[in-house]
Structure 1
Amino acid sequence: MHWRSCKYEAFRIMRKWSHKFMTSDQSPSVFVFRQLSNCRNTMEAADSPRKDSPATPEENSTKKGLRTVNGVQYDFNDPRFAGMGTRAIKRLLKQEHWEATRDERTKIQREKQRRKKEERQKLVEEGVLEPRPKRQRHQEMSLSNVGVVIDCAFTSYMSEKELHSMQSQIVHCYSKNRTAPLSMKTSITSFDEALRTTFDKKTSSWTNWKNVDFLTETYDEKFDKDNLIYLSADSDNVAHELEDGKTYIIGGIVDKNRYKGLCQNKAVEQGIKTAQLPIGEYIHMASRKVLTVNQVYEIMLKWLEYRDWKRAFMDVIPLRKLKESVIVDPKQEEAGSEEQKAEKGEAEEAIDAPQANEDDADSKEKEATT
């Protein structure tokens, strides 16, 4: 930076201090000139530091490639960071730091929950809050005769983020099944190492789940094909009810609709029956009739509770999908179709009537001529 670029600073100083030099022997111009000279010398000294000055620790760390992220120092030139950008390295170190501090975070969270529970209990004792309703125990739950299989044979199609989302959806399914009046016997098939590792990291209590079997085998190895029905939005068949003794398969995949018809084609190749939920009979969706695993699972639980598809759909399908959709009443549709048939029949009769009159007139003329 050249010293002439300080012209603005010179004028600022003159405006600020000129009134003090009006009665002084030293003119403002001389004062400003000396100030500019000092400023120039300072900047030149800063631009060219002395060679004999020792390097600071920060400079040495920069030369060696050392950086600090989350209080942890790492070497930018480490071979394990080869081919990685700065952001990728920071993400990796952040993930490692997250894993290293997991136990500490868990301890803090448990302490926070304990304090919160004690505070709530105190408010309940004082009568400020009402006690929470007791949760049903497993012994009090009724197990339906409808089974569910979540087919997790699609881990190779999913990214790591989608795999974590799949794990979260299965956890949500188990949570809803625990509190449902009629629960379903659930099996997680093709439970491979990738999904197991994700569960161990995020939900280590999965080994204690009730009414859930984690199987490494495929569903066709553990169940009778005659009792299996693969739920798919691409199927031509509609499941108007959930049959007792049947096991319904839900495709365990999070793909953002990249692989269309994947579950349908798999079931057809294996000779397994397919069906779709009767969403179209109750809701005309603005988008594709594709729901997440936990949404399909919860709809099935709601149907077992209500025995009403429309009520089950309205309770589970997100509002963002219902806003642009059209809610349909099947009874009105049936009445409308009957009216259309009646109108069509009347129109056909009106068209056939003149033709019948003409035929009668022709027959009378023939009789007259004979």
Structure 2
Amino acid sequence: MAEVVLHGIGKTFGDTVAVDDLSLTVRDGEFVVLLGPTGAGKTTTLRLIAGLERPDCGRIAIGGRDVGAHSPADRDVAFVFQQYSLYPHLSVYDNLAFPLRSPARRLGAEEIDRRVREVARMVRIEHKLQNRSTRLSGGEMQRVAIGRALVRRPAIYLMDEPLSSLDAKLRAELRLELKRIQKELSSTLLYVTHDQVEAMTMADRIGILSEGKLVQIGTPREIYADPANLHVAARLGQPHINLLPIDLLPGATPPSGALTIGARTEHLEIATNARGNAEVDWIEHLGDQNHLHIRVKGHKLVTLADPHLSIKPGDQISLTLRQPLYFGSEGERLR
């Protein structure tokens, strides 16, 4: 495995800036997730690293060597796409073995067989090796696609939302599997997604992208608890952060220049009170927790609450702020 360094990368398509002066280091053995909405530049960044696109400016180094002039085949990367991209006429075994049979690798039949069976066990698909890829479930096909990348043992794995087309249960299972495999192999992995749960559960570090710019990078806890601006604060958290005027609720001590308060669940203290400052609008019952939809002087808030809390729609409650986040006029974080 190898460290991957992007320095000042830029890429435009006509008048559209896809990647804007992006600098990023993915350390050897690290799992980095790029998180952002559609159009943020996530996939373009992966394609630039893989050599499928050429940057307009900047430098890309993999394992200490500048790969700007290298073809995709010479960059030693493995790419897992959102769609499975399996060979439908081949068995699972042959799909996994395909990259190892390249003339560039010159591996013997015994080594190919060993690697295929080892990876098949790792992704828990060994019982399907003789099946045609078209006779697999969606989760099994994605396991084969991931396994086909794993047999390569490249410098870095690039993964472009590989779980987004699966149902919720399979996504949850494969998130855990993928993190387990990455730790077992000590592999370097750059993963892009728009799903904050994937980012929070798998990443060693999360990079927040917006309009081609890397806005902030840090551990999941750092990004959640100490966002650089409003955009970053809004990317993580369920329910989403509440953005409030600074004088709406008691308990705030805003710094000079603060115009907006960001209040997550842990920033809101709830007390049942017949003469409270807020009213329960409605309640989403989610089993182990409730989403409370609250109205305060014409403003709507959403927060989590203990499902055993004895309240119902229409009840008055008291809300008090506790160490919320503060933002300035341009959305910048104020501490």
Higher relative contact order (CA 8 A, sep 6+): 2
Q: Which structure is larger by alpha-carbon Rg, 1 or 2?
A: 1
TM-score bracket for this pair, using the shorter chain length: under 0.3
TM-score normalised by structure 2 residue count: 0.22
Q: Which has the higher strand share?
A: 2
TM-score normalised by structure 1 residue count: 0.21
